[in-house]
Every structure is written in structure tokens, then in C-alpha cells.
Amino acid sequence: EDHLHLRATFTECGISIAWFLCAREFFNTMMGEIVGHFNGYVHQKVLQCNISDTNVWMQIPKPEPEFIVPDWLKDKGPGWYPNQMGLLGNWGYGKHFSSNPSAQRDNLSLQGTFPFQATQLMAWEGGLDWAGPFKGHSIQHDLEAVIWLMWILCINLDGPF
């Protein structure tokens, strides 16, 4: 298969979404990821197609310990929380969509990390009748992956760091 893989270097540093300090920071980061996904889809006609815990990051100023797991600032008051911007990385399986996306089945129809895949994509791959005819990867599948990611992280982590 012909695939083009590019590497890019950014001034932004990111850490895993699992390193959040509080629920507000976690959901703020997830909202940033959704905005990034929306911008990619609306402005560039690209779907990420691989939402997972390793592809959603929190932006930090530098790769230093005090930024990775910062101390809780008690003098800021009860309304303060670490406000990290969400980043969506690893667009290697991203798909470009024109205004008329093809419903042709290709080798990349079942994409993404298994626990976060949309159920309809897995049903198509398994040939289950309830999924209907194959229509291709859509924005709804990526948004379902975001919901699965948030749900799996929320039920499996003991809490913030």
C-alpha cells in the first residue's frame, strides 16, 4: 500500500490526557480536542480516524516535571484549576473528505484503537446486518470514539494525580 507518513516538529509540548489534576482540567482538555477535531473537519476536510488515549494530549509549556504534574496552587482559591489546552495528535490515519465522500470500502475502513472504535465500524467489519450497508468513516464515528475515550478513562482511573 502507498502511504505517506510525515513527521512534524512543534514548539508545543504535550503529555497524555491521563495526567490530569482534576475533572475540570480533564474535560477542558477533551473540549480542546473536540475543537481541534472540528477545525480539522470543517476547515481542512480531514477526519482524524484514530481517537485514543495516546493521541489526545494536554499542552504544557516545557517538558519539565513542574509542568507535567504541577503542584495545586492553594493561594489561587477554590475556582482555580490547571487550564491546559487539548491537542489532538497522530493524524497518520487521517482521511481527507471532499464534499462528496466516497462510500467505497477501502483497506482503511476499520481504523483506530480497538477500545475506542465506533460500534458501527466494528459491525461493518464483522458483517453484522444491523449496521446497514457500508458508508465509510464519518465524523459521527470519531465523536463516538471521543465518548468511548472519556468513558473508559473515567471508569478506569482512580482519580486525578
- Checking if the pLDDT of 97 tops 50, the result is yes
* Residue 104 pLDDT grade (very low, low, confident, very high; cuts 50, 70, 90): very low
Of 84 and 146, the one with more pLDDT:
146
Q: What pLDDT, on the 0 to 100 scale, is given for residue 67? A: 74
Q: What pLDDT, on the 0 to 100 scale, is given for residue 48? A: 85
Residue 78, C-beta contacts closer than 8 angstroms, at least 6 positions apart: none
Of 147 and 81, the one with more pLDDT:
147
- Checking if the pLDDT of 107 tops 60, the result is no
- Tell me the per-residue pLDDT of 4-49, one tens digit each, with 9 for 90 and over: 655 555 666 778 888 888 888 888 889 989 998 899 899 988 888 8
What is the pTM (predicted TM-score) of this model?
0.75
- CA-nearest of 103, 1, 91 to 52 is 91
* Residue 95 pLDDT grade (very low, low, confident, very high; cuts 50, 70, 90): confident
The answer to whether 15 and 2 have CB atoms below 8 angstroms apart is no
* Residue 147 pLDDT grade (very low, low, confident, very high; cuts 50, 70, 90): very high
Q: What pLDDT, on the 0 to 100 scale, is given for residue 90? A: 81
Q: What pLDDT, on the 0 to 100 scale, is given for residue 110? A: 57
**Percent of the chain predicted with pLDDT > 90:** 4
Mean pLDDT throughout 135-149?
87
Lowest average pLDDT, out of 72-81, 104-113, 116-125, goes to: 104-113
Using the CB atoms, write b or e for 10-31: b if 16+ within 10 Å: eeebbbebebbbeeebbebbbe
